[in-house]
Amino acid sequence: MSDKSKKETATADPEIAALEQTVAKLREVAAHTSLDVEEEVTGLTTKLNRMKRGLVENRSAWDRIKLARHPGRPHTLDLVAAMASDHVELKGDRSLLDDAAVAGGFATIQGRAVLFVGHQKGHDTKENLARNFGMPNPEGIRKGLRLMKLAEKFRLPVVTFLDTAGAFPGLSFEERGGAEAIGRNIREMATLSVPIVVCVIGEGGSGGALAFGAGDRILMLENAYYSVISPEGCAAILHRDEAKKPGVVEQVAEKMKLTAKDLLALGVVDEIVPEPPEGAHKDPAATAASLSVAILRALGDLSELAPDALRQRRYAKFRAMGVLA
C-alpha cells in the first residue's frame, strides 16, 4: 500500500470503509459468477450513502480542520490543473526572489481566461520544505499583488486560492516588511477594477490568507476553515497550560465559528462549495469540478458590473461584516 493510501485509510471512517469493501467484494463476485447480488448491492449502497450524508452533517469543527489539513488534500496548482484547459505559472516579485509558497499565473477555465494566485503547500516533506508549508514570505505576497496588477492591465478577472496556516512567523518576515505587504495587498485589492473571486480551499489562516482575501465573491469548500488564528494558538492564549488537556482545542475550535457553515451564516463567505463526503482528498477531480462551476457562476455575475460598481460593492461588502442587526 502506498503512503498516500495508508494516510487515507487511517483518516477514513472505519464503518464506512468496511461497508465500501463489502460492496466492492459483492460486485467482484457478481462479475465472476452467475450470482445475482444486485438487490444486496443496492441496499448496501443506499445505507452507505445515508451514512456518508450523516457523517457530513454531523462533522465537528475539529474534524473539518483535520480534513482541511489532510496531506492528500488538493492545493492550488492541483485544482488549477484539474479545472483549466491550460495554465502557465509566472514567478518572482521583481524585487528580490520567487517565493514558492505562492503560485500564480494565467489559466483558461472553460474558455474564460483568468489570472490565478494562491498558496501552494506540498504533498510530502521535501516539497513542503521547498514551499515553506504554504506560509508566504513578503516576496510571495508582493508577487501575488504584481500578478493581480497584471490582470488589471489586461482586463482579466482574478481568482485567488487561500490555503495557508498563516504568513511565515519568523523574524525575517518582519524585517522585510511582511505586515506592510499584507496591508498593501488588502488596500490594492479593494480598489482593483476587475472582478475578484476568492476561494478558501483548505486552511485560511490569519494575515497570510487575508493578503489574497479581499474579493467580490468569497467561495469556501465545505471542509475548509477561515480564521484570524489557529484553534491551537487561540487555545494557548485563552487557556495557557490548560490548552494541553484533551478536548480543549476541540472545544475552542467549535466556539471560534471558523467553518464554512458558520461563516456563511455570519456573512463572511458567500457560498459553500461541496466536497466528496469523506473530503476533497478522496476525489480531487470532483472537487475541482464543483469549484470551477462556482467560480464561473460568480464571474458571470460579476462581469456584468462596471469597474466603479465593482469597487463600491466590494467596499460595502467588507464594511458590512461584523455589523449586528
State whether 296 and 170 are in the same domain: yes
C-alpha cell at position 61: 469543527
| Integer angstrom CA distances of residue 116 from 52, 58, 158, 164 | 33, 33, 6, 16
Judge whether 159 and 197 are in contact, CB under 8 Å.
Answer: yes
State whether 147 and 244 are in the same domain: yes
Distance between CA atoms of residues 295 and 159, nearest Å: 8
Say which amino acid occupies 8. E
State whether residue 309 is helix, strand or coil: helix
Residue 286 CB partners (closer than 8 Å, separation 6+): 276
Mean pLDDT of 240-252: 89
Give the CATH number, domain containing residue 87: 3.90.226.10
Alpha helices in 213-283 (DSSP H): 231-239, 248-255, 260-266
pLDDT one-digit tens code per residue, 108-141: 999 999 999 999 999 999 999 999 999 999 999 9
What residues make up the domain containing 240? 64-320
Confidence at 270, pLDDT banded by 50, 70, 90: very high
State whether 245 and 106 are in the same domain: yes
Confidence at 2, pLDDT banded by 50, 70, 90: very low
State whether 8 and 93 are in the same domain: no
Is residue 22 in a domain?
yes
Query: Pick the residue with more confidence: 13 or 258?
Result: 258
Give phi and psi for 315, each to the nearest 5.
-60, -45
Is residue 325 in a domain?
no
State whether 100 and 223 are in the same domain: yes
State whether 116 and 224 are in the same domain: yes
pTM value > 0.75 = yes
Is residue 119 in a domain?
yes
Closest CA to 114 of 139, 74, 80, 140: 80
Q: What percentage of the chain exceeds 70 in pLDDT?
A: 90
Task: Indicate the residue among 14, 35, 58 that finishes a domain.
Answer: 58
**pLDDT of residue 8 exceeding 50:** no
Mean pLDDT (the chain) is 89
Is residue 69 in a domain?
yes
Alpha helices in 194-283 (DSSP H): 206-210, 231-239, 248-255, 260-266
Distance between CA atoms of residues 151 and 97, nearest Å: 21
Give phi and psi for 166, each to the nearest 5.
150, 170
pLDDT for position 56: 67
Confidence at 24, pLDDT banded by 50, 70, 90: confident
State whether residue 162 is helix, strand or coil: strand
Judge whether 287 and 74 are in contact, CB under 8 Å.
Answer: yes
C-alpha cell at position 250: 476541540
State whether 86 and 51 are in the same domain: no
State whether residue 198 is helix, strand or coil: strand
The length of the chain is 325
Burial class (CB in 10 A: 0-12, 13-18, 19+), 295: buried
State whether 75 and 15 are in the same domain: no
Q: How many CB atoms lie within 10 A of CB 7?
A: 15
Domain count, the chain: 2
Distance between CA atoms of residues 274 and 75, nearest Å: 16
DSSP E strands, 120-216 = 158-164, 196-205
pLDDT for position 46: 75
**pLDDT of residue 73 exceeding 70:** yes
Residue 52 CB partners (closer than 8 Å, separation 6+): 16, 277, 278
C-alpha cell at position 323: 455589523
Q: How many CA atoms are closer than 13 Å to the CA of 216, on its beta-carbon side?
A: 28
Mean pLDDT of 185-205: 97
Mean pLDDT of 94-98: 90
Mean pLDDT of 146-155: 97
**pLDDT of residue 209 exceeding 50:** yes
